[in-house]
Structure 1
Amino acid sequence: MSAVLAPIKPANRIWVVGAINGDHDALRAVHQKLAPRITPGDRLVYLGNYWGDGSGETVIATINELLLFRRYFIAIDGIDIADIVFLRGASEEMVTKLQQIQFAPNPGEVFDWMLTRGVAGTIRAYGFDPVNVQSIMRQGAHAISQWTSQFADALRRHSGHSALLADLKHAAYTTDGRLIFVHAGLDGSRPLTGQTDTFWWGGSMFESITDRYYDCARIVRGASGSQTGLIEREFTLSLDHGAGRGGSLLALALDGQGKVSDRIESI
């Protein structure tokens, strides 16, 4: 399998956390409820969209909270570093591409599109004004390269932020093939290694899955642009509860076949 896909050892309980969207209060509430329930042998998968469109302070606090809880989780006896996985969400895909935007054929249009997808909160979080950046995106490759360098430096000044971004996986799967974890989408006609950007932008493909995907019992996703709430179907499970968008954050414990055995909500 590809290095961007995370193998997870099968377990009696795998915790999954839905899209966070920079909602620090919701994430902290879930962590406070989750911490006493974790037992040795548990796994933990975050399903993406950590950076979001909230205030700068909220976005930074969200990433710091993730880093703190990762440290707590792997310190538990019987827990290994490979037992926790962070998936790359659409927000993280944009943050990554933002650092390379000078190579886009039309940086201004790409940045405008990112603004419609909520990247402004992340821009503010690291000390920049989205309106000013929007202007820079139309000043040519040299000006844009200078800004992307400044943005990367701002990320590095926050301990652990760049490292977390670099460590994100495109998808995860249990090594027995029974469970697959994605951010938003999956093309049922292609293998995991052939999904390209479907993981982030292929939500409609996920929703159209009605047959078993290889030997997988259930595909789990954390973000949905059109269908919020806990949606259980025969072969899929979606748990975007609207965190960061007026809703709540949902975390579920799944057994080895993807059945829900426990539930935590931020409210």
Structure 2
Amino acid sequence: MAMSAVLAPIKPADKIWTVGAINGDLAALQAVHGKLRGKITAGDRLIYLGNYWGDGTAEAVSGAINELLLFRRYFLAKEGVDIADIAFLRGSTEEMLSKLQQIHFAPNPGEVFDWMLSRGIAGTLRAYGFDPSHTQSLMRQGAHAISQWTGQFGEAFRRRPGHSSLLSDLKHAAYATDGSLIFVHAGLDASRPLTGQTDTFWWGGSMFESITDRYYDCRRIVRGSALANLGLQEREFTLSIDGGAGRGGPLIAVAIGRDGRIVDHIES
């Protein structure tokens, strides 16, 4: 797939609403959506910056995905709103979820699965009816057993209406078509063009932290997930909006104006 096919072009607007990493925090997402309903209007744009699945309870993680689907329907039902006015970015959790369904192809699936567990995939497993500890043991039982498991997991995943479609529709990054704003999940390699990034969008948080100069003609790069320095972190050329939802902190949503400045701010 060409890189341009997984980048979401966003028409400039007076308010581009952006939502930080959710991490399966249903209560926080519902709180933000409740406030956003009274603010978002036709002509606005809406971008979710990834990590929709997370390491919460099965009910919270599954409920968060359903809540996203319901709010997308609500926004698109507004007169004058187009499908291109909303974008969902792929986060590190969604990247792991995609790889999990292909883990039987990995040369060392047990080690890969352990790495995923250390980064919060357990809640996603529970959301679709799988026990993380049992699955961890199964990952040492050989290719046939693992292949059977991935088939069972994929079937359980597809049974949830809209979940599979959401995962397949995620974009790697979004950009304002006038070049003024770029939206990423966690990181960006400032030495490469947007179409030349690899997995930096998900794992390049340290590269994002080191951005101190203008990236091409972009006024500001906005990200939704940070391993450290949680909260609203506003710098000259970057903006980080990970409040720590799903980890004891709030979910943050901000509206970005045409000049790259925050014009509105919501927290759960």
- TM-score interval w.r.t. the shorter chain? over 0.9
The equivalent residue for 1:193 is 195
Instruction: Summarize the alignment of residues 102-141 of structure 1 with structure 2, pairs less than 5 Å apart.
Output: 102-141=104-143
| 1:28-77 deviations in Å (ceiling 9; x for gaps) | 00000001111110000000000000000110000000000000000001
Kindly report which structure 2 residues correspond to 1:1-267, keeping only aligned pairs within 5 A, or say none. Answer: 2-266=4-268
1:117 deviation in Å? 0.2
Distance 1:97 1:193 in 2: 22
CA distance in 2 between partners of 1:108 and 1:21 (Å): 24
CA distance in 1 between counterparts of 2:233 and 2:150 reads 39
Q: Look up the SS of the partner of 1:97 in the other structure.
A: helix
| SS across alignment from 2:38 | helix
How much identity, in percent, do the aligned residues show? Answer: 75
Any unmatched runs of 5+ in structure 1? Answer: none
Q: Distance in 2 between matches of 1:247 and 1:174?
A: 29
Cα RMSD, aligned residues only: 0.7
Deviation string, structure 1 residues 192-218 (Cα, Å, up to 9, x no partner):
111110000000000000010001000
How many Å separate the matches in 2 of 1:82 and 1:257?
Answer: 21
Counterparts of 2:50 and 2:164 in 1: how far apart (Å)? 15
Q: Distance in 2 between matches of 1:17 and 1:258?
A: 15
The CA deviation string for residues 128-182 of structure 1, in whole angstroms up to 9 with x for no partner, is 0111111111111111111111111111111000000000000000111110000
Equivalent-residue separation in structure 2 for 1:227 and 1:153 (angstroms): 38
**Matched residues in 2 for 1:98 and 1:235: separation?**
35
C-alpha displacement of 1:21: 0.4
Distance of 2:24 and 2:73 partners within structure 1: 19
Q: How much does 1:257 deviate?
A: 2.1
Q: Secondary structure of 1:159's partner?
A: coil
Q: Which runs of 4+ in 1 moved over 6 A?
A: none
Amino acid at match of 2:238: T
Opposite residue 44 of structure 1, the aligned amino acid is L
TM-score normalised over the length of structure 1: 0.99
